[in-house]
Structure formats: C-alpha cells, structure tokens
Amino acid sequence: MSGFLRLLGIGTNDSRFSNLNVTVEIYETVIARITHAVSRSDREEGGKLIGKISENGNQLKITVETYIDSGPRVNNSIGHLMPDGEYQEAMFRVLEKFDPDIHYLGSWHTHHCNDLPELSPGDIRSYKETLNSRNYNLDYFFALLVTALRGSKTQNLYYLFFREQEHGYELNDSLVHTVSRISPLDSILKNAEEVAFAHRRNRTLYSNNVYGTKSRASQIDTGVDPLEKIRSEDQQWILGEIPWAKPRQSKKDGSIYWQWQMDSNVGKLDVYYKHPSNSPSIPAYLEILFEGKQIISEHIPLNDSRFQKIKYCLDRAIEKTK
Ligand SMILES: [Zn+2]
C-alpha cells in the first residue's frame, strides 16, 4: 500500500490493495453544508455521501458530489447518531431518477461535540456491516469524520474500508481535494436538510411545551430520544466532576456509556457508567474495575439522587482498594 494510507489498528496489509492509488475529490458545496450542519449543532450530525467512483487499473477515484442528511427523524445526542434510514433510502431512490450513475459511497459524521479524536469501534463495526451487506454494491466505503470545528473550518479525518477486509485505512490529507463544483442534485438535498432541521426544532419545542412531561407513546411517535434529558444532565455533571471522562457507544447494543480512570492508593481504577439503551425507567449500570477485576457493580436508578449514588460508589471503590 502506498505510504499515504495508514492501517487502522493492528494487522497486515492485504496484497490486493497494495498498489492501489486512491484519490478523493469532494465538491466544495459538500464541505460548506457539513460545516454549516456542524456549526449549528451540539450533537453528532452526519449524512450519506453520494457521488461517483471510477477504477482504472490501480487507480481508484472517488468523487463526493453531495450528501443526504440524517433526516427529520434522526435520533442523535452528543454521543450517538442514528439516522432516519427510511428517509435516506427514499431520498436516494428519487436522486437515482435524476442521475442513474450515482452511488452511495460512504458517510460522514461528526465528533466535534464529544472530542473523540477518531472513529469509535462502533463506527468501524457499522461501516464493515454496511460494506458486507448484500444491499451495498461497491467494494469500498469512504468515511469522513469531523473531529473539531475551529472558527468557520472543520478538522476532518478520512478513511477507506474494503469489502471483506478486516482493517480500514486512514487516508493522508494529500489524497483528498476539494473542487469548486456543485452537483445539480445539491439544491434538492440542501433544501431537504433545511426542512429536516426545522422539523427537528419544532419536534423538540412541541414535545417539551405541549406535552409537558413526555409520555412514552409520544416519544416513539416523534422519534425523540427518551434518554435525551438524562444524557444532557449526566454530561453536565460528569464533565463538571470528571472532565477527563469520555462518552462512548457500546458495540453490543448501541447504548451510551461514560468511561474514565481514577487514582487510588494502589493504582488506577477503571470506571464505566452505562445508560440503558432505550428507556429511562430502566436503571443505569455502574461498574468499577481494578486491574481488570470487578470491585463495584451497582444499578443506578435514573432519578435526581443518581449523582449522590455514583459519588458514594466511587468512594467505596477507593476504600476497598486500601
Ligand atoms: Zn462516531
């Protein structure tokens, strides 16, 4: 593999790709729309990248012309993003009528809101699942990750995954170029994205003001994440008390958990505070490990006394290691 692709994780390069020359062109309107979406949101945002791919001998050229946003019923927070798949699929079918040569090339999403500096294990797993599914008809999956917003510019990382290959690659910046072109499809998608954002704003206002306390039925109807309020309270508290804690997403069930280390007399303790995957009526779970062995395992009901209970468990863990 050329020196411009860095292997993710541990593993060996696959000889099938060792001579591949990859270039990526991204239309500047795509970058502009991504920057706009990221700058007005404090949650994970994203979209499906749409464009063309051409292979010629060992040359692989990916052209990202536009993207389909995450839709009116996106389920997202600072630590997760579940796009409105039905909307994205329907939108793609419409776009194909205008341009039958377009492909779904991969996706972009952002970690600007949670400071994760690279793809999460869950991100990588879902890209591989997409690539290896029968509905996906390319051998490549291109991913753009926004890691930060600095002023009016995003900081991006680029990745490429191959069908049936265990490891993905990070692409060197020099392989990715922005070109000053606009896809004719972009005006449809840009307008749809604006309508989706407006819909999301209304949905939040409606569910907060009209219903007052949210009923479970209304949350399902509107697609609002029932754990959203809990997550934002927990984020505030955790980042106040333990600024080095990191939000993560479980590979197994998609639930959000916080992970941090803390000092004890004998060494570092690993703390995991895990939210249930869907309903706030199920308690969260707190686990504390020392040298890989569990020393605390507690269910934390998601009510107002949860922070006191977490603090108590942290103190008890330190006591136990004395
Ligand atoms: Zn991610």
Whole-number Å distance, alpha carbon 73 to ligand 1 midpoint, is 19
Arithmetic mean of pLDDT over the chain: 84
Helix, strand and coil in the chain, % to nearest 5: 30, 35, 35
Whole-number Å distance, alpha carbon 46 to ligand 1 midpoint, is 9
Whole-number Å distance, alpha carbon 112 to ligand 1 midpoint, is 10
196-221 per-position pLDDT tens digit: 988 887 776 555 433 333 333 333 33
Residue percentage of the chain with pLDDT more than 90: 46
Whole-number Å distance, alpha carbon 109 to ligand 1 midpoint, is 7
Q: Any idea where the domains of the chain sit in the sequence?
A: 5-197, 228-320
Mean pLDDT across 236-257: 79
262-317 per-position pLDDT tens digit: 988 888 999 999 988 777 778 899 999 998 888 999 999 888 889 999 999 999 99
Range list of H helices, the chain: 28-39, 85-98, 121-132, 186-209, 216-222, 228-241, 306-320
Whole-number Å distance, alpha carbon 232 to ligand 1 midpoint, is 18
Mean pLDDT across 168-188: 94
87-141 per-position pLDDT tens digit: 999 999 999 999 999 999 999 999 988 878 888 888 888 898 899 888 788 999 9
By the CB criterion, residues less than 5 angstroms from ion ligand 1 are 120, 123
217-240 per-position pLDDT tens digit: 333 333 445 676 787 778 878 877
267-277 per-position pLDDT tens digit: 899 999 998 87
Residue 10 tokens, joined: 């541990």
Cα angle 313, 319, 322 (rounded to 5 degrees) comes to: 150
Range list of H helices, 7-156: 28-39, 85-98, 121-132
Whole-number Å distance, alpha carbon 97 to ligand 1 midpoint, is 31
Q: How far apart are CA 162 and CA 171, in angstroms?
A: 13
Whole-number Å distance, alpha carbon 115 to ligand 1 midpoint, is 10
The superfamily (CATH) of domain 5-197 is: Cytidine Deaminase, domain 2 (3.40.140.10)
